[in-house]
Amino acid sequence: MSLIEITLIIMVVALIILVLAMVPTLLTIKRTAASVGELAQMIEVELKPALHELTGVLAELKTVGGGISEHTDDVRRFMSALGETGDNLSTINRSVSVVTSVLNTTSVWATGAKVAGKYVVERYLKKRGGM
C-alpha cells in the first residue's frame, strides 16, 4: 500500500465518521425546524384573536379616558366645594365652642348667684328671726 492509498483510506474513514456523526444532528435540526413551524402557526392562530381583543379593549379605554377627561372639571369643582364646606364646618365648630363656653360660664355664675342668694336670704332670716 502506498502512501496515497493509506491517505485515501483515512479520508474515507474520517468521512464515514463525519457522516455518522452528522446524521443525528441533521435529524435533530429537521425536528427543530418542524417544531418551530408548528409554533409559528400556533402563535399566528392564537395571536390574531388576542390582538383583535386587545384592539377592542384599547378602543374602550380611549372612550373611558375621554369620559374621564370631560369630568375632570366637575371633580375639581366638587373638591373645591368640599374644601369650602370643611372650612364652614370648622367655623361653625369654633362658634359652637364659644357659645358652649359662654353657656358654661353663665351656668357657673347662675349657680354661684343662686347659692349666694340662698345664703344671704338664710342669714337675713336668721337675723330677723333672732331680733
Q: For position 12, what pLDDT does the model report?
A: 94
CA distance 21 to 32: 17
Residue 120 has pLDDT above 80, yes or no: yes
Q: Which residues contact 2 (CB under 8 A, 6 or more apart)?
A: none
What's the average model confidence in pLDDT over 68-88? 84
pTM for this prediction: 0.38
Q: For position 8, what pLDDT does the model report?
A: 93
CA distance 118 to 114: 6
Q: For position 13, what pLDDT does the model report?
A: 95
Q: Where are the domains of the chain?
A: 3-69
Q: In this structure, what DSSP letter does residue 131 have?
A: -
130: confidence class by pLDDT, cuts 50, 70, 90: low
Across 3-32, b (16+ Cβ under 10 Å) vs e yields eeeeeeeeeeeeeeeeeeeeeeeeeeeeee
φ and ψ at 109, to 5 degrees?
-65, -40
How confident is the model over 4-63, as pLDDT tens digits? 999 999 999 999 999 998 999 899 999 999 999 998 888 888 888 888 888 888 888 888
Cell numbers for 52, please give them.
Answer: 383583535
